[in-house]
Amino acid sequence: MSNNSQVEWDGSNWFFSNGDTRKVEEIGENPATELTFQRKDTWIVLSGKSNLHQDDKELFKKHWTDYLEQWFEQGIDTPGLTLIEVAASRAECWGMPGDGVVEL
């Protein structure tokens, strides 16, 4: 799984994954998702809905970076490759000025 941070953030976070993982199965059953990010003394929790994108090579190309090949040796042609989109609707921030909840 990889959070491709080299794309402009538009409210969605994008992750490549193998399609036969437990997380992909769980998202298929219930798309409600929370992501937690931490850096030094700052924490951010994003809440939203996940969408699974499979077999969409144009979308894969848009979010692909070469370092992902260490996990997906066949690149965007990796069998079962899945792109997980987490569309955030709420953000919580802790450990920085202005802490609190932001509705996105």
43 lies in which domain range? 2-103
Domain count, the chain: 1
Cα 24 from chain centroid (whole Å): 12
**Looking at residue 57, which CATH number applies to its domain?**
2.30.110.10
Rounded to whole angstroms, what are the CA distances from 9 to 28, 78, 85, 86?
Answer: 24, 25, 12, 11
Cα 56 from chain centroid (whole Å): 16
The per-residue pLDDT for range 1-20, each reduced to its tens digit, is 445 555 566 778 899 999 99
The per-residue pLDDT for range 57-94, each reduced to its tens digit, is 999 999 999 899 999 999 999 999 999 999 999 888 87
To the question of pTM greater than 0.75 for the whole model, the response is: yes
